[in-house]
Structure 1
Amino acid sequence: MPSYSAPIDDTLFILNDVLKYERFNNLPGFADASPDIVEAVLREAGRVAEEVFFPLNQVGDQEGCVRHDDGSVTTPKGFKEGFEKYKEGGWMGLGFDPEYGGQGLPYVLHTAVSEYLSSANMAFAMYPGLTQGAMAAIHVHGTDEQKQTYLPNMVEGIWTGTMNLTEPHCGTDLGLLRTKAVPQGDGTYKITGQKIFISAGEHDMSDNIIHLVLARIEGAPEGVKGISLFIVPKFAVNDDGSVGDANGVSCGSIEEKMGIHGNSTCVMNYDDAVGTLVGEENKGLKAMFIMMNEARLGVGLQGLAISEVAYQNAVTYAKERIQGRSLSGAKHEDKKADPIIVHPDVRRNLMTIRSFNEAGRAFILWAALKSDIAHRSEDKDDAALNEEMMGLLTPVIKGVLTDKGFDHAVMAQQMYGGHGYIEEWGMSQYVRDARIAMIYEGANGIQALDLVGRKLGMNGGRAVQAFFKEVGDFCQDNRENEELTFFTKHLKKGLNDLQAATMWFVQNAMAKPENAGAGSHDYMHLFGLVALGYMWALQTKAAQEKLAEGAGDKQYFDNKIATSRFFFERVMPETSAHLARISTGADSMMAIPEDAF
Structure 2
Amino acid sequence: MWHYQAPLRDMRFVIEEWLAAPADWQRMPAFAALDVELAAQVVEEAGRFAGGVLAPLNASGDRQGCRFDNGRVTTPDGFPAAYQAFVDGGWAALACAEEHGGQGLPQLLNAALLEMIYSTNHAWAMYPGIAHGAYECLRAHGTPELRERYLAAIVSGEILPTMCLTEPQAGSDVGLLRARAEPAADGGYRITGGKIFASGGEHDLTANILHLVLARLPDAPSGSRGISLFLVPKRLPDGRHNAVRCDGIEHKLGIRGSATCTLSFEQAEGWLLGEPHKGLAAMFVMMNSARLHVGLQGLGHAEAAWQSAAQYAAERRQMRAVRRPEGSAEAPADPIHYHPAMRRTLLELRTLTEGMRALGYWTAHLLDEAEQGADPALRARAESRAQLLTPLVKAFFTEQGFRLASAALQVFGGYGYVQDYAVEQTLRDSRIAMIYEGSNEIQANDLLLRKVLGDGGAALRGLLETFRAEAETASALPECSAFASALGHYCDRLATAAEGLAAAAAQDPERPYRAAGDFLRLLGLVALAFAWTRSARLCQGRAAAPFHAGKLESAAFFFAYLLPEADHRLVLIEASRQPLPFLPE
Alpha-carbon shift at residue 370 of structure 1 (Å):
0.6
% identical equivalent positions: 41
Shift of 1:13: 0.8
Matched with 2:345 is 349
Contact 2:191 2:268 in 1 (8 A): yes
- Equivalence for 1:468: 464
AA aligned opposite 1:534: F
Aligned residue in 2 for 1:288: 283
The 5-angstrom pairing of residues 469-488 of structure 1 reads: 469-488=465-484
| Alignment partner, residue 228 of structure 2 | 228
Q: 3-state SS of the aligned residue for 2:475?
A: coil
Partners of 1:29 and 1:559 in 2: CA distance: 35
Mean Cα deviation higher: 123-132 or 311-320: 123-132
Q: Are the aligned partners of 1:494 and 1:572 in contact in 2 as well (CA < 8 Å)?
A: no
Contact 2:391 2:447 (8 Å CA) reproduced: yes
How far does residue 594 in structure 1 lie from its aligned partner after superposition?
2.0
CA change 1:594–1:458 in 2 (3 A) is closer
Query: Which of 295, 301, 305 pairs up with 1:300?
Result: 295
Q: Give the corresponding residue for 2:427.
A: 431
Alpha-carbon separation, structure 1, partners of 2:48 and 2:563: 35
Partner of 1:444: 440
1:260 pairs with 2:292: no
Are 1:312 and 2:303 counterparts? no
TM-score by length of 2: 0.97
Corresponding position: 1:579 with 2:570: yes
Q: Once the two structures are superposed, what CA deviation does each residue of 1:329-384 show, in whole Å capped at 9, x if it has no partner?
A: 79865532111111111011111111101010000111111111111124223212
Contact 1:363-1:531 at 8 Å conserved across structures: yes
- Corresponding position: 1:412 with 2:424: no
Structure 1 residues 53 and 381: CA distance shift in structure 2, 3 A: same
AA aligned to 1:475 is A
**Is 1:269 the counterpart of 2:264 in the alignment?**
yes
Distance in 1 (CA, whole Å) between partners of 2:29 and 2:309 is: 41
Q: Say how many residue pairs are matched.
A: 583
CA contact (8 A) 1:83 1:205 kept: yes
| Distance in 2 of aligned mates of 1:499 and 1:525 | 14
8 Å Cα contact 1:498/1:526 also seen in 2: yes
Structure 2 Cα separation of the partners of residues 457 and 586 of structure 1: 17
Once the two structures are TM-superposed, the CA of residue 173 in structure 1 deviates from its matched residue by 0.8
Partner amino acid for 1:201?
G
Alignment partners' CA distance in 1, 2:73 and 2:135: 23
2: CA distance between counterparts of 1:544 and 1:216?
58
Q: How does 1:479-498 map to 2 (within 5 A)?
A: 479-498=475-494
What residue number does 1:241 align with?
Answer: none
Separation in 1, partners of 2:567, 2:422: 36
Equivalent-residue separation in structure 2 for 1:321 and 1:513 (angstroms):
53
| 2:32 alignment counterpart | 31
CA deviation profile, 1:491-529 (whole Å, cap 9, x unmatched):
112212211211121121222122111111100000001
Deviation string, structure 1 residues 180-215 (Cα, Å, up to 9, x no partner): 000003220000111111111110001210011111
1:219 match: 219
Paired residues of 1:504 and 1:583 also in contact (CA < 8 A): no
CA contact (8 A) 2:474 2:534 kept: no
Equivalence for 2:43: 42
Q: 2:451 aligns with which of 455, 460, 482?
A: 455
Kindly tell me: are residues 151 and 329 of structure 1, through their superposed partners in 2, closer, same or farther at Cα, counting changes over 3 Å?
closer
- Deviation string 1:273-297 (CA, Å, 9 cap, x unpaired) is 1010001111110010011011110
Is the contact between residue 210 and residue 234 of structure 1 (CA under 8 Å) also seen in structure 2?
A: yes
* Alpha-carbon contact 1:220-1:226 (below 8 Å) kept: yes
Cα-to-partner distance string for 1:96-121 (whole Å, 9 max, x where unaligned): 01111001011111111111111011
Taking the aligned partners of 2:535 and 2:29, their CA distance within structure 1 comes to: 26
CA–CA distance in structure 2, aligned partners of residues 389 and 184 of structure 1: 42
Whole-Å Cα distance in 1 between the matches of residues 138 and 78 of structure 2?
30
Report which stretch shifted further, 126-135 or 33-42: 126-135
Q: Distance in 2 between matches of 1:525 and 1:103?
A: 36
Following the alignment from structure 2 to structure 1, what is the Cα–Cα distance between the partners of residues 380 and 52?
40
Give me the whole-angstrom Cα distance separating, in 1, the residues matched to 2:408 and 2:374: 45
Closer, same or farther in 2 for the Cα pair 1:563/1:253, shift >3 Å? Answer: same
Residue 587 of structure 1, CA deviation: 2.1
Aligned to 1:178: 178
In structure 2, distance between residues paired with 1:511 and 1:236: 55
Q: Residue by residue, what CA displacement relative to the aligned partner does 1:245-279 show, whole Å, maximum 9, x if unpaired?
A: 10011111101110000110101111111010001
What is the one-letter code of the residue matched to 1:318?
A
1:58-108, Cα deviation, whole Å (9 max, x unpaired)? 011001111111x01100000001111000001001010111100101111
Q: Quick one: distance in 2 between partners of 1:520 and 1:115?
A: 27
- Corresponding residue number in structure 2 for 1:594: 583
> Is the alpha carbon distance of 1:329 and 1:41 closer, same or farther for their aligned partners in structure 2, counting shifts above 3 Å?
closer
Letter in 2 for 1:460: G
Residue 4 of structure 1: how far off its partner (Å):
0.8
Contact 1:471 1:534 in 2 (8 A): yes
The partner residue of 2:273 within 270, 278, 289 is 278
Q: Which runs of 5+ in 1 are unaligned?
A: 239-243
Q: Distance in 2 between matches of 1:145 and 1:441?
A: 29
For residues 567 and 299 of structure 2, what CA distance do their matches in structure 1 show?
24
- Work out the CA distance in 1 between the residues paired with 2:97 and 2:323: 59
CA RMSD across the alignment: 1.5
| CA distance in structure 2 between the aligned counterparts of 1:542 and 1:512, rounded to whole angstroms | 44
1:26-57 residue CA offsets vs partner (Å, 9 max, x unmatched): 21332232101001101100000000011110
- Structure 1 residues 232-251: Cα deviation after superposition (integer angstroms, max 9, x where no partner): 0000013xxxxx11001111
* 1:4 aligned partner: 4
Return the TM-score normalized by structure 1: 0.95
5+ residue gaps in structure 2? none
Structure 2 CA distance for aligned equivalents of residues 567 and 276 of structure 1: 51
1:153 partnered with 2:153: yes
Q: Which amino acid aligns with 2:204?
A: D
Is the 1:332–1:338 contact (alpha carbons within 8 Å) kept by the matching residues of 2? no
Shift of 1:2: 2.0
**Equivalent residue, structure 1, for 2:396:** 400
Distance in structure 2 (CA, Å) of the matches to 1:183 and 1:326: 73
Partner of 2:558: 567
Question: Does the CA contact (< 8 Å) of 1:403 and 1:438 recur in 2?
Answer: yes
The question of whether the paired residues in 2 share the 8 Å contact of 1:363 and 1:532 is answered with yes
SS in 2 for 1:102: coil
- Rounded to whole Å, the distance in 2 between the matches of 1:323 and 1:481 is 41
Residue identity matched to 1:398: K
